[in-house]
Every structure is written in structure tokens, then in C-alpha cells.
Chain A
Amino acid sequence: MKTLGLIIVVLVGAVLVYATVDFPPFGDPASPASLHVSPRYIEKTVEETAVPNAVTSVLADYRGFDTMFETTVIFSAGVACFLLLRVSRRRPPASRQYRHRLTGLTFRVKDGREISLPLRDFEPLDSIWTPHDFIIEKVCRYLIPFIQLFGLYVIAHGHESPGGGFQGGVILGASIILLSVSHNLRTALQRMGEKASALFSPFGVLIYAGTGALCLVLGYNFLDYQALAALLPGGPIMARSHGIFLVEVGVGMAVMGTMVWIFKNLASLGRYDEGL
């Protein structure tokens, strides 16, 4: 296998090198790629969509259709991980353990008997339980709001600066993931349950596709945000800008939901009990 791999790799490499010789020079402003289609995006983006970040305008408007499917890819990956890993049947444990927070004493309740304990003082010591690291826990707890704020900023400010729905969504998702890494999965699940993350992702993509469909219903082509001028303030140009924003929000929601969803499935093997 190794030799075969090596042969194939060298062959592919040779073919690619062969072609590279004919490439336009690196960074050449006069290469066809820089002259044919892209100039319009740069020159007209502000004029046509009122979005200075050309990447955002191309992403969400000129080639918005690609991006819709890109979001769908993420969504389907989320569904795929869920489908593959989620274990639905869970056996109740034979016995449960509780730990007294202050003293560290643990005791066991047999045969699924129910007892009432003040949860402020006791914590269940099941498979979810992981030893706490005080410093990490506190630092993360204070960090996470800022991370989330930043994520929202990135989504909202994609028009003017690098970033957008996708990056913002990943950051938002990462904040939840951080929570479950630094605390445990149950804490993260309390913030964003399985159902929530699973519904966030189709809902986000639905916002995207729905915006497109709305344009279609309003008599324009699919994803032609001009149509939104009938519903939103500002002319057709601003409507495009707003449309892009709507779509970015959708992307952000979908990506956040899916990232968390995939992580939960991967990290707990679909059992949703113990995380990393």
C-alpha cells in the first residue's frame, strides 16, 4: 500500500507540477482570474449592494446560492452525526451516588430509590460528573459572555469588516463548546439543550432559504433581495444590504447550532452524559 500510495502521489504531483509551469505568475494583477469576473465585484459592490466588504457581498448576494448550500452542508453534517452516533435507549443506573460539596463525602442510593437532598449542598456523582478545576471554571465563566458578544459583533459587522454569519456562528458555537469543556456537558446542555441545538440549525438555514423564497413570492427571482424593498425601509440597494444581513443571521444561527450539536454527539458518543 505504501509503495502504491507513493507512486500515485508522485504521479499526481508530477501532473500538477507540469501544469504549474503554465500558470500565470504568482500575484500577477493581470492574470485572467483578476481581470475577467472579479473586477465587477470590487467596483460595484458598494454601488449595487451597499456592502463594502466585497467578500460578504459576493458570499451572500452575488453567489448567495452557493452559500445557502454551504450552510445546508453544515446542517446535513449535523444531522449525519446525530443519525450515526445518537443512542436513544438509555438504561437507568442501578445505583446513584451523591457527593457533599463542602466535605467531599460521597454516599450511594441503591435500587433507584428516590430521596430528596438539597441540591445546593449535594451534587449527583454520575458518569457526567467530572472533577472541577476552579481556575479554569471561573476564567471560562467570565470569558464566555465576551466571546459571545464578540460572536454577535462579527455576525452583525460582516458588512464592514472581516467576518460574517459563518465566523460569528462558529465563535458562538465555540463559546458553548468551551463551556462544556471547562465545566461539563450537563452545564452546557442546561444552556443549550439537545433539542435547541438541533432545532437551531434547520431554523437558521430556513431563515436563509426562506428569505430567498420570500423574494420569489414577491415576484422576483430566488434570493433576489431587491424584492425585500417592498417590506424594508430604503430602496432596492439597501434592501440588498438588509437581505444580506438577514441571511447572515440565519447562517450564524445554523452554524452555531450545528457546531454545538456535532460536538455534543462526538464528545459524548451520542449518549449525552459525559463530555470531554
Chain B
Amino acid sequence: MEEFLRLIIGKYNYWIYITLMMIGLYAMIAKNNLVKKIVGMNIFQTAIILFYISTGVKKGATIPIIEHSHDAAHQAVRAADYINPLPHVLMLTAIVVSVATLGVALAVAIKVYHRYLTLEEDEILKQIREP
């Protein structure tokens, strides 16, 4: 039981990311409104970003900006003192991708709206079926 609890608490971030991902995925699949789907898509993407950031965390480490002095005698930098910067870099890219996708998705959604005058998927499909 205790071990189970430790599992729950020790990986809290991971559980949350899974939850968020499920929320996002659910919204993308099951929601009827196109903008809601887009919101879901962004939540889905942010969840993955959260996951990546969580992998980079190190207990007892600080942000990855190296403290340095311009004296020659600076002490050696220890990797364990700084949080892993690599996931951050990757996720910067991922955020950019998500905002780019968002822009395109919204543009397309606006086009859809102007053709069918609704954002509800079922209403659109109904219009397609009975023109």
C-alpha cells in the first residue's frame, strides 16, 4: 500500500500529464464543436510538453544558466547542479509547432464556418448529407 502511495506521489507529474493528455484526446475525438476540438488539441500538445519538461527535472538542481565568472579560476561546472536543458530546447520547438498548428487550424475552422455557418460537426455533416 505504502509503495503504491509512493508510486502515486513520486510520479505525480506523470499522472497529471496522462490525465491532461486524456482530456485533450477526448476533446479531439468526442467533442462536437470544432473550436473545442482545437482547444483539446492544444491541451493534448501541452500535456506532452509537460511530460518532456518533467523528464528534465533534477532534484536539487537549478535552472540551466551556468553561473560563471570571468576570472580564469572558475571552478568546474557540475552537470548535477543544473537542470537538464535538452528537454527545454525540444519543447520550445514543440510550443512553436503547437502555435503554428493552432494558427492554421483556426484559419481552416474560420473557412469551415463561413461555408456552413456553424461550428458544430453534426450540423455540418447534416448539411453535407442533405444539400
Contacts and interface: CB of A to CB of B under 8 A. Distances in A.
* Direct contact between A and B judged by beta carbons closer than 8 A: yes
Interface of A: 1-2, 4-6, 8-10, 12-13, 16-17, 20-21, 23, 25-29, 31, 33-34, 37-39, 41-43, 45-46, 52-55, 58-59, 63, 66-67, 70-71, 73-74, 76-78, 80-81, 84-85, 160-162, 166, 262, 265-266, 269
A34 B80 CA distance: 8
Please tell me the size bucket of the interface on B.
35 or more
B65 A161 contact: yes
B11 A54 contact: no
- Please classify the interface of chain A as helix (H, G, I), strand (E, B), loop, or mixed, using the class held by over half of its residues: helix
A54 B65 contact: yes
Given A38-B85, A59-B92, A26 B10 contact: yes
B11 A74 contact: no
A74 B107 contact: no
A-B CB proximity, top 5 nearest: A5-B30, A39-B79, A77-B100, A5-B29, A54-B85
A63 B89 contact: yes
Contacts of B72: none
Interface of B: 7, 10-15, 18-19, 21-22, 25-26, 29-30, 32, 54-61, 63-68, 76-82, 84-90, 92-93, 96-97, 99-101, 103-104, 106-108, 110-111, 114
Contacts of B64: 41-42, 53-55
A39 B56 CA distance: 12
A26 B29 contact: no
Contacts of B76: 43
A52 B82 CA distance: 12
A180 B72 CA distance: 50
Contacts of B7: 21
A262 B96 CA distance: 14
Contacts of B12: 26
B110 A266 contact: yes
Contact of B22 (A9, A28, A59, A269): A9
B77 A41 contact: no
Nearest to A32: B55
Given A53-B64, A55-B85, A29 B59 contact: yes
